[in-house]
Amino acid sequence: MSIHSPTHRRRTTALLGGALAGILAVFGTPAPVSAANTLSMRGADVSSLQRSLDLGARYYDAGGVARDPLDILRSVGVNYVRLRVWNNPASGYNNKSRVLAQARVARAKGLKVLIDFHYSDTWADPGKQYKPAAWVGHSLSQLRADVYAFTYDVCASLRGQGTPPDSVQIGNEINVGMLWNEGKVVNNDFAPLAGLLKQGYQATKDCGSGIPVMIHTANADSNANARWFYDGIRSQGVQWDITALSYYCVWHGTLANLYNNIVDLRGRYGKPVVIAETAYPFTRDNADSEPNAIGDATCDGISATWSGQAQEFDWVQNTARNAGAIGVFYWEPTWYAVRGNGWDPADINGTGNQWDNMAVFDWSGRVNPNVRWTP
């Protein structure tokens, strides 16, 4: 996810369609869940959290009591955190050393850790996959070696401090590749990307043979695009353990479409599916001068309110669960409006937060009392 991505902003809400009422009747309402159909990965991407805490942010539970935000999230069902890794970001956050520290804190609280490799110094998403500055000018062969070395180094460092990753994500929303232009899929040629993904996979397995590897796209909206991508990498011999998707309803369409895509991908590739990112606004208002990534757009007939945010998240979880997915991660629930924790790592003090209406904590740091992560 990149909250300032022009690709995301151009996504249409037309897929929300005229048959929505019938769709919600099938997929939106809570339903009994069998033991065999459980969300075992109930996650929160808290990559921005350390910066907020360093700036003095306070977090409050539903009763108004100040508590550690990870403890609050655990109390409402979270059992996994997702941490993005940038190579050498200008902000000094989300780099290797910060991620090591965050992983120690999370594991000490009994939370599992998913490491999200962007292979960039900044945001990577469907609209941009910038190489780290240190890798600019490297050949494809060099980039394969870079991916292996960086992946193994971060993973081994986590293992060395007693917090080996519980899962690893090779690339972030790589709909048409990563490490552009060398790793971009052009004219249906997946070979360059495949070589990079194989190195990330092998580095992870060399670090810990039992660590599951995710490959993540934002293709929840299009089964055709998802098949094109995952068929393409499979045809090149790429291995992965979990198929990961982003799903934001205002960009990725109906819950019925999400359901059908999960079912198809599970059957087609024989691998578990995880929603690695989702979120919904609790207000249309904006806390700062930075335009919100999602402003007036809502979907499924659900209002941008605390109760609406909780309802949409419930429906996404229900849809994923009923389709047989094994996990859902909320993207940046703790990134509320804290001055100095801006979206641009090159100007973190001078930019605002485009996600301040999407967090599950309001602008004073109080948690939405209705939001729950449920098995």
The separation between CA 12 and the C-alpha centre of its own chain, rounded to angstroms, equals 20
Catalytic residue among 277, 290, 312, 332: 277
- Three-state DSSP class for 220? coil
Catalytic residue among 173, 290, 312, 332: 173
Is 290 known to be catalytic?
no
Residues in the chain: 375
Strand partners, 366: 60
Q: Is 197 exposed, middle or buried (0-12, 13-18, 19+ CB in 10 A)?
A: buried
Is 277 known to be catalytic?
yes
Check residue 357 and report its DSSP letter: T
> What residues have CB less than 8 Å from 137, skipping those under 6 apart?
none
How far does the chain reach from its first CA to its final CA, in angstroms?
24
How many angstroms separate the Cα of 250 from the Cα of each of 47, 141, 151, 272, 317?
23, 39, 33, 25, 16
Whether the ω angle into residue 172 lies within 30 degrees of 0, i.e. cis, is no
Catalytic residues, by residue number, are 173, 277
